[in-house]
Each structure stands twice: as C-alpha cells, then as structure tokens.
Amino acid sequence: MTTDTTPLTHIVDDDEAIRDALSWLFRTRNVPCATWASAEDFLAAYQEDWRGCIVMDIRMHGMSGLDCSTALRQRGSTLPIIFITGHGDVPMAVGALKRGAFDFIEKPFDDNALVDIVQSALDEDARNQARRSARVDVAARLEQLTGREREVMGLILAGKFNKVIADELNISMRTVEVHRARVFEKMGVRSAVELAQQLTLAGLYNSATPSAE
C-alpha cells in the first residue's frame, strides 16, 4: 500500500480482525488510516516523508513490533509509535517507552482512550514536522549571512549593545547598525528577541552564539 504525505495512522497487526476493527474505529472518528498485515510489509513500503503515527502490535508472527520500531529508528523515523499489548507484555511495553515509544495500550482497550492517544500522537508528529521545517528554513537563512554578520549576530544574541559590539570587533557603530539591519532582514525578524525565539524553536540557538564556539 502506498500513501502520500497526508498524516495517517498506520495500523500494523497480523490479526486481520484487529486491523479491520481499528480501521473502522478510526474512520468513524475521521482519523485517516492505513493497514499493514506485518511489520515486514510496513517496512518495505515505508517512506521517510510519511507523517502521522503508528499503532502496532508488540507481538506478531515474523518481525515483532519492537524489532520494527528499532528498524524505523535506525532509518531516522520520528513517527510516534503506540504499542498494543497483552497483559503479559506490559513490562515489555514499558521498556519500549524508555526507548522512545510514544505510548502503549493494553488489550482489551477502550475505544475512546485509544483514539485520544492516537490524536495526541498525531499532534506530536505535527509539532515535530513544524520543528523540522523551521530548522531547515532557519538553517538556510543562516547560510545567507556573511562571516561578519554571523559575528555581529552572535554578539547581539549575547545581549551586547552596538557600542560594545563595535569595540569588540574594532568597527564603527554605524557599521554595526548596518550589519544588524542586514541580519534581521536575512533572518526575517524585527528584533533581537524575535531572532532568539526563532533560533531556539529551530534548535539552532547554541550554534549561533559565541559560547558554542
């Protein structure tokens, strides 16, 4: 089965009855989904640009849910994974949480509880996607800065005034003002506070400040 980049809830379970039940549940709650009969089938079709989350049985014939999770992480996937577990698998599921799984739900599960967890996972993936997009955009903007503009930006982020920056870099205050204006223009911000927020949200603040050098 192939999908586009529309966020989907991927149901991975070797039990056809479970796949059908979960597919029906999600579709009645307006949660787009796709079903996979095995971890191997899912991994064979998986694309890096997929968005959404995964609802996966922790135990299946062939590759287990845990092994599938490990394979996905090795490929760099950040899709939130929700494990479906039996009573005896709870300790295994707790261990999976410690290794990065989003959540787990024990059989027999409450439909509303599962839908709530899935919605939280979809929200988490959307936030991750927004952070990745912001990081790419901000990194591209940083590449447009000259070496001197990077120096000035780092000192701005350190909270230093124009006069102090001018003294430290041995340039005129007017030159500092020009560099500051160019930094703000290229980064698409209007103030030092907005610049700091932009870099922080993109996870690039430390690399842009003198202390990281």
pLDDT digits (tens, 9 = 90+) for 108-144: 889 999 999 999 999 999 999 888 888 899 999 999 9
DSSP state of 203: T
Sketch out the chain's domains with CATH numbers: 8-132 (3.40.50.2300), 145-202 (1.10.10.10)
Is the pLDDT confidence value at 213 over 60?
A: no
Q: Higher pLDDT residue, 127 or 212?
A: 127
The predicted pLDDT at position 28 comes to 96
User: pLDDT confidence of 205, banded at 50, 70, 90?
Assistant: confident
CA atoms within 13 A on the CB side of 196: 10
pTM (predicted TM-score): 0.72
Q: Cα–Cα distance between 39 and 71 in angstroms, integer?
A: 10
Pull the structure tokens for residue 52. 């959404």
Q: Cα–Cα distance between 178 and 165 in angstroms, integer?
A: 12
Which residue's structure tokens are 């698998």?
89
Structural contact between residues 163 and 155, judged by C-beta atoms closer than 8 angstroms:
no
